Chain A
């Protein structure tokens, strides 16, 4: 489904702030794969997602989605095939627009925007049913401005918006990191349900090792712009947090020094 081969990216090339963010990354995802990604700060996790989504251009390598080379395509073009949820709950929704307007806008992902009315009558009922699935009671507030919602509600809504039109690939960039533990748990649960029900191919970056182990069928660990560990299937199921810590020290020659990851 997704094929990344020999992708590299260096920020601020040739200056003292030069930072090798991705170092010859190669990765192949099969259809239906749900990959969790862990790694310390600056390991290149978010950069990898941003490169796949086309936020920044890559320096070298090929990114292909569904057999199509998208390495040089713009962000909005790739968005026709890719759904995204961001770390910042404010980033995925338009605060001054109604809940149903946001959803109707997302429901047209990958379609050209015409002079037809922005939200159709029968569509309203469909969107209401979809929102019911979130179990947040938002179906009664369809004409409320999204700005009135909490971070967790906005994140759940963004998740729904990213998957309304089934994406070939779903990118989740620490999408529960800014939420309180209880809300984070329910958004994560919802994520897992949607991915399973729609048979989505997804990549989820997380700081939480337990979540990385509990969710998905494959786990990769990144360090200094490289993938240092890739485990899937049965092997992943038996994985424990201690195994990941040991693996990290073994491969990187360093101790895991990230409090966020250890405490989680």
Chain B
């Protein structure tokens, strides 16, 4: 029983802190309509910056915000490559992502930096909690994740309702219109990318603290996990829900993804096969609505034609 609880609580905690990354992906992928592949790099950058700062004895909270700032710079680079150098979105993101691998190695000076002896947000929170036992770390992670998620969802809800935030949303919707109404779409795109990658790096910083080490490879496949969370999250509520609820649903999607992963691992799946499983899951999730629509159309056609009767008669 406790083993099962451990798995569930662990998955919920991971889902929350990884969910912040999914919120960042949501800004580019859904709002800005920009396929940003910087993610894998900026997530690791966040983790590496946090690991470095924490081992240097800097306060973990400061480390988290510094990581977010580093992510924003990564987004700025991708935005610059796309808007000023006119490099296609996907390529601009890949270039930044690849370059960040070397930068991340430079930041930490090695490929893996453990935080065993250092103070992390998770450890600090665990000390504050009036509980003990094996669930403590998971619950501390959930608490940290919850606080950050609430603040970030609230900030996003506010920001994307402002004039500036609306301009970013409108840019993803109809760039031509935005320009014809006097807004510089290069600026809105760069700003969107910066905010997105700041959130992604912030998530990386929290993940580093929860797993107890920073690693240059920790961002591998992050974009796919982010997309999975968004797709699962969008299946949760109905179509007409408000923005804040949609953001919460993405966190929910991230938690569900982690529960699925924990489930299949518990059933004996090799961790090496996890990435393949994730890819297959997303491919299936994207295919189902297409097949369902086709199937529905066929049924409607059949039902209507039955009313007509025998066409050959």
Contacts and interface: CB of A to CB of B under 8 A. Distances in A.
A114 B174 contact: no
A118 B162 contact: yes
Nearest to B182: A79
B174 A161 contact: no
Interface stretch (B40-48, B165-173, B295-303): B165-173
A75 interface: yes
Nearest to A104: B166
Contacts of A86: 176, 180
A109 B174 contact: no
B280 interface: no
Contacts of A196: none
A84 B176 CA distance: 11
Contacts of B184: 74, 76
B163 A108 contact: yes
Contacts of B182: 76-77, 79-80, 108-111
Contact of A93 (B161, B169, B174, B185): B174
B261 interface: no
Contacts of A80: 182
B181 A105 contact: yes
Interface centre among B177, B178, B183 (most CB of A within 10 A): B177
B254 to A, nearest CB: 23
B181 A96 contact: no
B164 A96 contact: no
Given A114-B163, A118-B163, A94 B185 contact: no
B163 A94 contact: no
A53 B182 CA distance: 11
A84 B163 contact: no
A145 B161 CA distance: 16
Contacts of B162: 113-118
A131 interface: no
B294 interface: no
A95 B179 contact: no
Interface string A80-101: 1000101000111111110001
B174 A105 contact: no
Nearest to A54: B179
Give chain A's interface residue range (CB within 8 Å of chain B): 20 to 34
Contacts of A222: none
Given A114-B162, A114-B164, A117-B162, A94 B180 contact: no
A113 B169 CA distance: 13
B183 A94 contact: no
Contacts of A114: 162-164
A127 B176 CA distance: 22
Nearest to B167: A113
Interface string A104-137: 1110111101111110000000000000000000
Interface in B177-199: 177-185
Given A94-B173, A94-B174, A95-B174, A118 B181 contact: no
Interface string A135-172: 00000000000000000000000000110000000000
Interface of A: 53, 74-77, 79-80, 84, 86, 90-97, 101, 104-106, 108-111, 113-118, 161-162
In the A-B complex, the 3 residue pairs with the smallest Cβ-Cβ separation, listed nearest first, are: A94-B173, A118-B166, A79-B182
Given A53-B180, A93-B174, 13 more contacts: A76-B179, A76-B184, A80-B182, A84-B180, A94-B169, A94-B173, A97-B170, A97-B173, A104-B166, A108-B163, A109-B181, A113-B166, A162-B180
8 contacts: A79-B179, A84-B180, A91-B177, A94-B173, A105-B181, A113-B183, A117-B161, A161-B181
